[in-house]
């Protein structure tokens, strides 16, 4: 049996972090619904409260179920430290607020998640933080902006919803050349397909709501990586109060046990769907990093071990055609979510970029007639048949 730190990801997904809080020979982690943790011994209480001894004091700060969730993600990402938050956006915004100061400069790309993009364009500038968003596929332009000096380089790959791929090795090197903290949103790829910390990134953030949980029944976020940086994020988050709920942590933990199985099946389905759609005469464009026609396919292949469960495509006829097509799908939720066991579809206007106006979406290069497709774990042939009948209508 390999050392518990060296197990493969499929095993970590099942066993990682599980043993610490098992109670009365239970085989499953308990959901600890307790606001506070009591200490009859004053000295012990004092030591835990002042961080000299391990333990829990108050639920806004830490909780046993939440700690197991953090530990499992830490092991899956090969990180030194992990901390969680109530949602993916809570993880991202707490990380940014904890690490940036008035006068700080962030370089990122135009294609980050809609909510993240709004932090860069509206909320952070209000605190005197300069955010420069560069064309996602122009690696030289990103490098040039980074070289002007920045405190943080914030990356997301593959992107939402157009599945652009950033060259992580090259950009992480550019960020470190100017001593910037390099952060990667790994939500779309998952640690099964991509390990940014192993490529040199300082922090990885996730919306655990998506693939990590995988069952569309719990919101959560997590930040993993460098111990000092994670500690700063934790210290801000415990005061900011965007704490992950223990019940949500439990649902995410249970979902994560099948992460490896799910993500591999989702990638198989996404590849089959992308290949099918690319050959279909009603489809004008398919975005999937696994296709050799994808502009950054080579980069994706060099930094990902699988191409993920997400794709997007444009139907001949624009938004009107999308409106007509979507209701005919029988095996897909039309919803603003992704990464679930059920196939989920939607246009950016109601999903990833619902916060943006049509003009803002156009400025980001997101066509209104695009469909984002999150492949579930259904039978591949059934998914293809469903798409085929809906497109034939
Ligand atoms: C959904 C998502 C987020 C935000 O996560 P929430 O859990 O919805 O707050 C951030 N980044 C990416 C890539 C996402 O898909």
Q: Domain boundaries in the chain?
A: 9-256, 259-392
| Cα atoms in the 13 Å half-sphere on the side-chain side of 51 | 3
Judge whether 309 and 211 are in contact, CB under 8 Å: yes
With 0-12 / 13-18 / 19 or more C-beta atoms within 10 angstroms meaning exposed / middle / buried, residue 200 is: middle
Torsion of CA 154, 156, 162, 167, to 10 degrees: 90
Residue nearest to atom 2 of ligand 1 (CA): 207
Identified catalytic residue from 113, 154, 234, 373: 113
Q: What is the pLDDT of residue 172?
A: 98
pLDDT at 312: 96
* 39 token code pair: 């200490």
pLDDT of residue 352: 75
- Number of C-beta neighbours around residue 228 at 10 A: 10
What pLDDT does residue 350 have?
Answer: 80
Residue nearest atom 1 in ligand 1 by C-alpha distance = 207
| 257 assigned to active site | no
Residue ranges in the chain modelled with pLDDT below 70: 1-5
Rg (CA), the chain: 21
Q: Is the CB of 187 under 6 A from ligand 1?
A: yes
* Cβ atoms of 388 and 179 closer than 8 Å: no
Provide the pLDDT for residue 43.
Answer: 97
| pTM for the whole structure | 0.96
* Fold classified for 9-256: 3.40.640
232 tagged catalytic: no
Task: Choose the CATH number for 259-392 among 1.10.3720.10, 3.90.1150.10, 3.40.50.720, 3.40.50.20.
Answer: 3.90.1150.10
pLDDT attached to residue 368:
78
pLDDT at residue number 48? 95
Q: What is the pLDDT of residue 3?
A: 58
Distance between Cα 43 and ligand 1 center (Å):
42
Instruction: Verify whether residue 58 is a known catalytic residue.
Output: no
């Amino acid at each position: 049996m390999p050392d518990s730190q060296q197990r493969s990801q499929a095993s970590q997904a099942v066993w990682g972090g599980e043993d610490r809080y098992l109670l009365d020979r239970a085989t499953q982690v308990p959901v600890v619904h307790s606001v506070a943790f009591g200490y009859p011994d004053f000295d012990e209480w004092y030591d835990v409260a002042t961080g000299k001894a391990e333990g829990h004091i108050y639920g806004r700060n830490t909780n046993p179920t939440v700690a197991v969730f953090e530990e499992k993600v830490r092991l899956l990402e090969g990180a030194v430290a992990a901390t969680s938050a109530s949602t993916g956006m809570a993880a991202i915004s707490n990380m940014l607020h904890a690490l940036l100061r008035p006068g700080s400069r962030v370089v990122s790309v135009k294609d980050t998640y809609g909510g993240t993009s709004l932090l860069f364009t509206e909320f952070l500038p209000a605190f005197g933080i300069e955010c420069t968003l560069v064309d996602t596929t122009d690696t030289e332009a990103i490098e040039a902006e980074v070289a002007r000096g920045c405190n943080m380089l914030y990356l997301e790959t593959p992107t939402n919803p157009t599945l652009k791929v950033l060259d992580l090795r090259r950009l992480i090197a550019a960020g470190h050349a100017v001593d910037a903290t390099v952060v990667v949103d790994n939500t779309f790829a998952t640690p099964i397909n991509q390990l940014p910390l192993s490529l040199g990134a300082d922090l990885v953030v996730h919306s655990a709501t998506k693939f990590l949980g995988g069952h569309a029944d719990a919101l959560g976020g997590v930040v993993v990586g460098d111990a000092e940086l994670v500690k700063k994020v934790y210290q801000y988050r415990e005061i900011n109060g965007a704490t992950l709920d223990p019940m949500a942590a439990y649902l995410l933990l249970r979902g994560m046990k099948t992460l490896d199985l799910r993500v591999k099946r989702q990638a198989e389905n996404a590849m089959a769907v992308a290949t099918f759609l690319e050959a279909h005469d009603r489809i004008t464009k398919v975005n999937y990093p696994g296709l050799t026609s994808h502009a950054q396919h080579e980069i994706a292949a060099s930094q990902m071990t699988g191409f993920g469960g997400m794709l997007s495509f444009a139907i001949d006829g624009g938004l009107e055609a999308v409106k007509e097509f979507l209701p005919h799908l029988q095996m897909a939720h039309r919803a603003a979510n992704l990464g679930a066991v059920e196939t989920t579809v939607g246009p950016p206007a109601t999903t990833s970029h619902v916060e943006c106006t049509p003009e803002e979406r156009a400025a980001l290069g997101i066509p209104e007639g695009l469909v984002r497709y999150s492949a579930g774990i259904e039978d591949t042939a059934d998914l293809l048949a469903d798409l085929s009948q809906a497109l034939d209508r």
